[in-house]
Structure 1
Amino acid sequence: MAGYRALAAVGRSVVDLLNRRFLDEIPAGPRPEAVLAGPVDFDKVDTPGAVIRHPAVSVYCYRLSIDRETRPSWAAMAAQDGMARLPLRMHLLIAAWDRFVEAELEWLGLAALALESEGPLTGPLLHPSGDWGAGDAVQIVPDDLAMDSMSEAFQAMTTDYRLCLPYLARVIRIDGRPGRTADEVTVVASGTSGTGR
């Protein structure tokens, strides 16, 4: 059962996975650091206190959507046990940051290799802050994002367009509190019987 922290926990899980794989591939020498970033961070690269510092790979969640494939089954289950379950998808843009375009392309290739080489995130691969259940799993798969949609995502920000890899994290199920069953109600009828005059 994942709690309300599940979305942030998935972001942390992807960052942790990338950093582990970067270390495996490049045990010594310069390698990027994966970070969870927002649009404000894109304008502050390499400034004091910046989240993104060269070399880096940023993981940016630009959109959340309902997982329509699993929503009906979870809604049916909620109707039976009274516990709401919301299945979500996180739409991610993976970008590389370096002073040289060749290095950025290498870091993007390294990120793609890391994400494609991993199966679903389960157990210890899921950041513990998500309050995960024993059977919870999140798939990280390529997202089918049209060029127009990618451009629109950047038009909403003040930063210039960057080459990105679109990925999708699915299905992140946020569970509500267990529903309460109605208490049994006992109806006591009282009446008076009398004789009419």
Structure 2
Amino acid sequence: MFEQLTELVKQYGGDAVVNNPAVPNEQNEAVMEEANGSILSGLKEMVASGNVGDLAGMLSGKTPIDMNNPVVAELAGKVTGNLGNKFGLSPDAAGSVAGGLIPQVLSGLVKKAQDPNQPGFNVQDIIASISNGQGGGLMDMVTKYGGQFGLDQDGDGQVGMSDAVAAVSKKSGGLGGLLGKLFGK
């Protein structure tokens, strides 16, 4: 997932970073790298702290990806603080980078996650990336409660990664459909 996130940051970094007069041109690349790392670490922190409900809502496409979204707001705060500390950007300048970049990057991430035809970008990659390969609270919740929501795709009485991949490959709404069933959205 790290590579896909990096691609999205570069794709949407033009307006938010490169064309932003508050960011010196010689710092464009470093600012985008810092934003990328801050977004990934912020997602990991959300899962580690058990804040999977907001993340699941975002990934399911049920909540708008704007500054009112708790996931977006939390990541924007993290990126703003890190850019201010590391590059000396004013709070307004760092905030404009975060506000212009994060909603677009997360929207792109959700589109990729919901696209069953997106090669190399699947449920397993997302969960492994943001949970440090441990499955985190998100996969534990899928396993624990998934059978109650019809997520046992292979009929083995357990909900696991094979069920998540099967649900996505059956074009049942992709990751959004899977998480939507789980969280009743």
Name the TM-score class by shorter chain: 0.3 to 0.5
Relative contact order (C-alpha < 8 Å, sep 6+): which is higher? 1
TM-score (norm 1): 0.31
Greater percentage in helix: 2
Greater percentage in strand: 1
- Tell me which structure has the larger Cα radius of gyration: 1
TM-score (norm 2): 0.32
